[in-house]
Structure 1
Amino acid sequence: MATSAAVTMTSSPGAAGRSVLEGAFGLLEAVERAGEAGLTRLTVECGLPKSTAHRLLEQLVELGAVERHRGNYRMGPQMFYLGRRWQPHPGLLSAARQPIRALAELAGVGVGICVLWKGQAQVLEWAPGKEVEPSAVTHRGMTWPWRTAAGKVLVAAAGPAALPGPLPESWAREAAGIRARGAAFDRQELVAGVCCTAVPLHGWPGQAPLASLCVVTDPAHHLERLAEAAARTAQVISTELRRR
């Protein structure tokens, strides 16, 4: 049927049954992994016919999702703009921006809103602190291993299904401690000189956290006190979300 032919690419056995959207997203993921690559490399990585990959890439260029650069392809500005607008709950970022900036300014530490994405903690919003060491400076869109505080507090709430791979044997006891305290800690476990604490950020009581609110600092700060301040800030954000 004509409709089916328009939706499914069947120009080769390897492409049979793959939708146009699957092909386009596969190319976008390949471009993201490569940073910048030519048609041949992207074709090999996606397993698409070269003509199909070229057609899809040119369509993505027209949409601004991909751009050409010196004969190669790289991510386009439209993906950046769209990505910045994503959030796990409507209004979360607008409700969080002022409270996390206030905490960052008051405590002199970096404060962020993070979610789990493909087994990592991804930063959705970030307010830099004046006293944060240069090695701890981060930005929106950056990802950390889930074993940092921002990821641990979410995995502890969501359970093993939140991660694609197996968890360490010691994780069950650690997760129980995180749930009991209401906060997770990272005392230079991933990066020397960088400590952080994180608390869950809820939309409604009794529901799974929407995200985590994390504080990044140096070893000189008292993490337990920062966790208390982070919990108060998370409560302000949650109250604002419910009010809206």
Structure 2
Amino acid sequence: MTSSPGAAGRSVLEGAFGLLEAVERAGEAGLTRLAAECGLPKSTAHRLLEQLAELGAVERHRGGYRMGPQMYRLGHRWQPNPGLRSAARRPMHELAELTGAAVGICVLWKGQALVLEWVPGKGAGPAVVARRGTTWPWRAAAGKVLMATAGPVTLPCPPPRSWAREAAGIRARGAAFDREELVPGVCCAAVPLPGRPGRAPLTSLCVVTDPAHRLERIADAAARTAQVIGNGLRGR
């Protein structure tokens, strides 16, 4: 019994994406390691990797493979809402100027908060190094506010028993806080960015600062900025 062309196509795609994920995890790796991680014969892995290299999805380097420029270019163009980056660019910079803190936009991805946009802070606060593609645990404020407002989300591990009470408080306040819970000296306030009418928010706006700042005031400023971004997405 032979497999259908559709099944064969899915198998090839699954193998190619499996290799891309293995390259992303390793940063750079050789054929033997990548084939073993994906459970593929070396000949199949080599053929797929060479095809991916021709497309620019990976590149050959020192006898191995690493992520290619085409994947970087395509990945950085992704956004959950059309026009999000153009609507958010100026308001994010204005919020960073107002607070002196770093400002980011995040989305939940595989149980983590994934940074889509980032504006470094200009004040004397903590030097948080982040960029597009940086991931934080979902317990960061940027992840908690989406967990509380975006509905059921699959997490790598069950949330603590106190989460239901904390989530209710986040929904009531409209903001989530991280008071040095993840990194000493680093605090964060995050609010949801408005999504389509009647739908749960897909992204959050976060402000990363130090313990000297009042997070409640920063959350209020972030909420006003989120409203400006939402108006921009709706063409207002």
Matched residue, 2:8: 8
Listed as ranges, the matches of 1:37-116 within 5 Å are 37-116=29-108
Residues 171-204 of structure 1, C-alpha deviation per residue, up to 9 Å, x if partnerless? 0000000000000000000000000000000123
Matched residue, 2:171: 179
- 1:210 paired with 2:210, answer no
Q: Please give the alpha-carbon distance, in whole angstroms, between the structure 1 residues aligned to 2:177 and 2:195.
A: 22
Matched residue, 2:221: 229
- 1:20 paired with 2:12, answer yes
Q: Please give the alpha-carbon distance, in whole angstroms, between the structure 2 residues aligned to 1:228 and 1:133.
A: 19
How far apart are residue 2 of structure 1 and its match? 9.7
CA contact (8 A) 1:111 1:126 kept: yes
Q: Please give the alpha-carbon distance, in whole angstroms, between the structure 2 residues aligned to 1:21 and 1:55.
A: 13
Amino acid at match of 2:157: G
Residues 136-182 of structure 1, C-alpha deviation per residue, up to 9 Å, x if partnerless? 23211111100010000000012343424311110000000000000
SS at match of 2:190: strand
Q: Please give the alpha-carbon distance, in whole angstroms, between the structure 1 residues aligned to 2:124 and 2:77.
A: 26
How far apart are residue 49 of structure 1 and its match? 1.2
Q: Please give the alpha-carbon distance, in whole angstroms, between the structure 2 residues aligned to 1:240 and 1:143.
A: 26
Equivalent residue in structure 2 for 1:139, among 131, 156, 171: 131
Amino acid at match of 1:92: L
* Runs of 4+, deviation exceeding 6 Å: none
TM-score by length of structure 2 reads 0.94
Matched residue, 1:130: 122
Matched residue, 1:15: none
Amino acid at match of 2:211: P
CA contact (8 A) 2:125 2:210 kept: yes
- Percent sequence identity over aligned pairs: 77
Residues 24-73 of structure 1, C-alpha deviation per residue, up to 9 Å, x if partnerless? 00000000111111000001000111111100000000000000111010
Q: Please give the alpha-carbon distance, in whole angstroms, between the structure 2 residues aligned to 1:97 and 1:180.
A: 28
Equivalenced residues, count: 236
Distance 1:79 1:201, change over 3 A: same
Equivalent residue in structure 2 for 1:121, among 99, 105, 113: 113
CA contact (8 A) 1:114 1:125 kept: yes
SS at match of 2:28: coil
Matched residue, 1:198: 190
SS at match of 1:136: coil
CA contact (8 A) 2:126 2:186 kept: no
Distance 1:207 1:160, change over 3 A: closer
Amino acid at match of 1:152: K
Distance 1:76 1:196, change over 3 A: same
Q: Please give the alpha-carbon distance, in whole angstroms, between the structure 2 residues aligned to 1:133 and 1:69.
A: 38
Q: Please give the alpha-carbon distance, in whole angstroms, between the structure 1 residues aligned to 2:176 and 2:124.
A: 19
Matched residue, 2:148: 156
How far apart are residue 132 of structure 1 and its match? 5.1
Q: Please give the alpha-carbon distance, in whole angstroms, between the structure 1 residues aligned to 2:86 and 2:15.
A: 34
CA contact (8 A) 2:105 2:205 kept: yes
TM-score by length of structure 1 reads 0.91
